[in-house]
């Protein structure tokens, strides 16, 4: 089976952590790079967290390059109330020994795209992608596809209409939406269809291994956050769904759409407008619509258990 070369642009982030572990555990993917960005926490922390996670997964061969510390426009935003002050649920970690690449995020992505077919999976604010367009416009046409966890068709999670990854840097998201690269957007409307509950978390905790303890340790405070906001302990697997889209082509239904991002306004800054009317049939952009939670969750458990067995041996 030909493996898909992927680079993951990320702001770990508890759900990013599950996504990264799922990716390195899946034989369909060849994770050839991780790039980090300011988002859930500052970029020095998202970079440290990427190092922690790849060390945990014994994937130290994967280069990690740091990216943007601030958004293109607007203030620096974080989500420590969701992911903890360190971005991974505030567990205690040894200092990771993995070093970071000498290149920055844009240069690493560009070099990886020069080396062969590459899928870019973006699961944080889109600042690095906008910088890639500005500094390496020739790379836009080289990328095989882009998968983005971002946006919301109906209801936001930071404001009534804005989802965090777009809200944290709407100017960057607008640059990304204006490119003709083949993009699949996975907005909140579809990511909210996949979640883990306390039973899923208890499975990880029952393994008695570092991976299981880290997963349970990160996900329990994440479940506490969701319970405080929604009254239900469902931890939404926003970012892991972006990995699933590449692992299981066709498992997520999607529609062609024109995509615009609101950057002004008093109430709608960071809103994504997915135009599914068909007026722009030539759009290379698709928007995820529905997914089977049971299939997603079964694959996630199978892959994380496989990684756990590998690490235990
Ligand atoms: O809105 C959800 C997104 O914002 C996820 O990528 C989560 O990690 C946060 O970055
Ligand atoms: Ca994220």
pLDDT tens, position by position, 40-63: 999 999 999 999 999 999 999 999
Give the mean model confidence (pLDDT) for residues 60-88.
Answer: 95
Domains and CATH numbers, the chain: 4-312 (3.90.245.10)
What is the CA(312)–ligand 1 centre distance, in A? 30
Express as a percent the part of the chain with pLDDT over 70: 100
Give the mean model confidence (pLDDT) for residues 9-14.
Answer: 98
Q: How far apart are CA 6 and CA 62, in angstroms?
A: 11
- Best mutation site among 8, 14, 15 for ligand 1 pocket (most ligand atoms within 8 Å of CB): 15
b/e code 153-178 from CB counts within 10 Å (16+ = b): beebbbbebbbbbbbbbbebbbbbbe
Instruction: Give bridge partners of residue 10 from the DSSP assignment.
Output: 36
Structure confidence at residue 154 as a pLDDT band (50, 70, 90)? very high
Q: Whose CA is nearest to atom 10 of ligand 1?
A: 124
Evaluate if residue 92 carries a pLDDT over 80: yes
Structure confidence at residue 313 as a pLDDT band (50, 70, 90)? confident
Evaluate if residue 297 carries a pLDDT over 90: yes
Evaluate if residue 281 carries a pLDDT over 90: no
State the pLDDT at residue 179. 96
Evaluate if residue 307 carries a pLDDT over 80: yes
Q: How far apart are CA 278 and CA 255, in angstroms?
A: 9
Q: What is the pLDDT of residues 245-257, one digit of tens each?
A: 999 999 999 999 9
Please give the positions annotated as active site.
238
Q: How far apart are CA 146 and CA 236, in angstroms?
A: 21
Please give the DSSP secondary-structure letter assigned to residue 63. Answer: -
């Amino acid at each position: 089976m030909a493996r898909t070369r992927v680079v993951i642009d990320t702001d770990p982030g508890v759900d990013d952590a599950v996504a990264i572990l799922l990716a390195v555990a899946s034989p369909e993917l060849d994770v050839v790079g991780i790039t980090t960005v300011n988002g859930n926490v500052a970029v020095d922390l998202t970079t440290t967290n990427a190092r922690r996670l790849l060390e945990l997964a014994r994937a130290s061969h994967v280069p990690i390059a740091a990216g943007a510390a601030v958004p293109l426009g607007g203030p620096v935003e974080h989500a420590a109330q969701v992911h903890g002050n360190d971005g991974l649920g505030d567990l205690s970690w040894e200092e990771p020994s993995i070093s970071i690449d000498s290149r920055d995020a844009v240069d690493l992505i560009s070099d990886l795209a020069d080396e062969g077919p590459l899928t870019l999976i973006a699961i944080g604010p889109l600042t690095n992608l906008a910088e890639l367009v500005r500094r390496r416009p020739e790379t836009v046409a080289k990328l095989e596809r882009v998968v983005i966890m971002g946006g919301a068709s109906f209801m936001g999670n930071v404001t009534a209409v804005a989802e965090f990854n777009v809200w944290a840097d709407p100017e960057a998201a607008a640059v990304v939406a204006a490119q003709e690269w083949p993009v699949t957007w996975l907005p909140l409307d579809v990511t909210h269809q996949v979640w883990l509950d306390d039973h899923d978390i208890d499975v990880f905790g029952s393994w008695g291994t570092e991976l299981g303890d880290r997963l349970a340790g990160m996900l329990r405070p994440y479940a506490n956050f969701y319970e405080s906001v929604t009254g239900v302990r469902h931890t939404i697997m926003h970012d892991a769904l972006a990995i699933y889209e590449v692992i299981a082509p066709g498992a997520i239904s999607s529609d062609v759409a024109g995509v615009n991002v609101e950057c002004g306004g008093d109430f709608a800054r960071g809103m994504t407008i997915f135009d599914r009317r068909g007026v722009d049939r030539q759009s290379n952009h698709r928007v995820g619509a529905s997914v089977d939670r049971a299939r997603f969750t079964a694959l996630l458990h199978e892959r994380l258990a496989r990684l756990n067995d590998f690490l235990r041996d």
